[in-house]
Amino acid sequence: IHNTPDGTFPNGIPNPLLPECRDDTRKAVIEHGADMGIAFDGDFDRCFLFDEKGQFIEGYYIVGLLAEAFLEKHPGAKIIHDPRLTWNTEAVVTAAGGT
């Protein structure tokens, strides 16, 4: 979706944090029966995930999943995270045996 580089951004601002910028990815996930969707911002330094129903997955859930996966490989590890994502991340890290 919109994978041809064009600095004029003819398809709108490439910021999946804005709900209005998620629609094409959501529709593509549903149309193609995809298991997940991934959207990137304009400079590809952030990615955003969608579930199999095309629903946007908030970042605090992704951080928790990544922390949990890391702790499976490295039990008891210390996890540093963005303080804006505290509530879910701390709960997942604690439940998975990390600090």
Structural domains for the chain? 1-57 (3.40.120.10), 59-95 (no CATH)
Higher pLDDT, 94 or 73: 73
Closest CA to 62 of 35, 92, 33: 92
Instruction: Tell me the one-letter amino acid at 2.
Output: H
- Would you state the pLDDT for residue 88? 77
Q: How do residues 10-58 score in pLDDT, each as one tens digit? A: 888 888 889 988 999 999 999 999 999 999 888 888 889 999 999 999 8
Cα–chain center distance at 63: 8
Q: Across all residues in the chain, what is the average pLDDT?
A: 88
Q: Over 90: is that where the pLDDT of 74 sits?
A: yes
Q: How far apart, in whole angstroms, are the C-alpha atoms of residue 63 and residue 81?
A: 8
- Would you state the pLDDT for residue 51? 97
